[in-house]
Amino acid sequence: MESRDKLARPLIFLGPPGAGKGTQARVVAERLGIPQVSTGDMFRDHVQRGTELGRGAKAVMERGELVSDETVVAMVADRIGQPDCAHGFILDGFPRTATQAERLEALLRERGWEGALAVNFAVSYNELIRRLTGRRTCSVCGEIYNIHFRPPKVAGRCDREGGELVQRADDREEVVRQRLEEYERKTRPLVDFYRQRGALVELEANGQPEELTSRLLAVALLALGLLDGRVS
C-alpha cells in the first residue's frame, strides 16, 4: 500500500484499555505510512514535559479517570489539522465519550472527510487485567512489552536499544479497575454510536498480535475504499 493513497476515512481503534489498540495502532500506522494519534501518549508526553496541560491531566490520569472533553478535543483538533494527517490517521484512545464522538464527526466534516471507520477491539475482562498489569513500556522508544506473553530478551530492558522498561502509573491493579469502569460507563456506548452509522467493524481481539495486525490491514483496505463488506 502506498503511503500517498488517501484513506477515504480515518480509522478509530475503539475498545477497552488493554485491548491492544496502542500496540496495533503503532504497527498498522507504520505499515500504512500514516500517523498514529494516541491521546494517551499525547497526555503522557505533556505530563513528562511538565506543560500546563500535563500538570492539569496528571492527577486525573493517575486516578484512572478521563480528562475533560474540552481539553482532549482541542488537543485532537490541533493534531489532526497538521499536514502529516492529510492522508489519513489512526485515532487510538479517542473518542472515549459521546461528546468526543460528536465533536469528532463535526471536525471531520469541516475538513472534508466522510466520517471515520471504527474498529471495536473485543477482549475478555480477565485477559484485559492480565494484559494491563503485565504491560511494560520502553522509557526511550515507547515499544510495548508484556511480562506474561511478550517479554523482552533481557528483563527490564528494551530489545531495540536497551532502554529501561517502565510500568505506567495507571497500570497498577486498583487504577486498572477504575479505568475499566470508566470505559464501561462512558466509552462502551460508542460501539452503538458507530454501529448505527454503519461505521463499525467488530474485531475479536483475544488472539495473537501478528494475526490481529493482518486482519487490521484488511480493515484498512476497507477504509481506503478498496474492499466492500465485513472483515471478521
Omega into 152 within 30° of 0, i.e. cis?
no
Is the four-CA dihedral 117, 122, 125, 129 of positive or negative sign? negative
**Residues binding ligand AMP: what is the number (CB under 6 A)?**
17
Question: Catalytic: which of 26, 179, 186, 215?
Answer: 179
Q: How far is the CB of 110 from ligand AMP (least distance, A)?
A: 19
For position 89 contacting ligand AMP by CB under 6 A, the verdict is no
For position 72 contacting ligand AMP by CB under 6 A, the verdict is yes
Query: Three-class SS of residue 218?
Result: helix
Q: Is 179 a catalytic site residue? A: yes
For position 96 contacting ligand AMP by CB under 6 A, the verdict is yes
The nearer residue to ligand AMP, 43 or 113, going by C-beta atoms, is: 43
Q: Is 58 a catalytic site residue? A: no
For position 90 contacting ligand AMP by CB under 6 A, the verdict is no
Interface mask toward ligand AMP for 5-44; x: CB under 6 A: ------------x---------------------xx--x-
Strands of the 90-92 sheet, one edge to the other:
36-38, 90-92, 11-14, 117-122, 200-204
* CA distance readout (Å), 107 to 159, 200, 225: 39, 19, 21
List all residues 6 or more positions away from 107 whose beta carbon is below 8 Å from its beta carbon.
73, 76, 77, 80
Residue numbers of the site for ligand AMP (CB under 6 A)?
Answer: 17, 39-40, 43, 60-61, 64-67, 72, 93-94, 96, 100, 170, 179
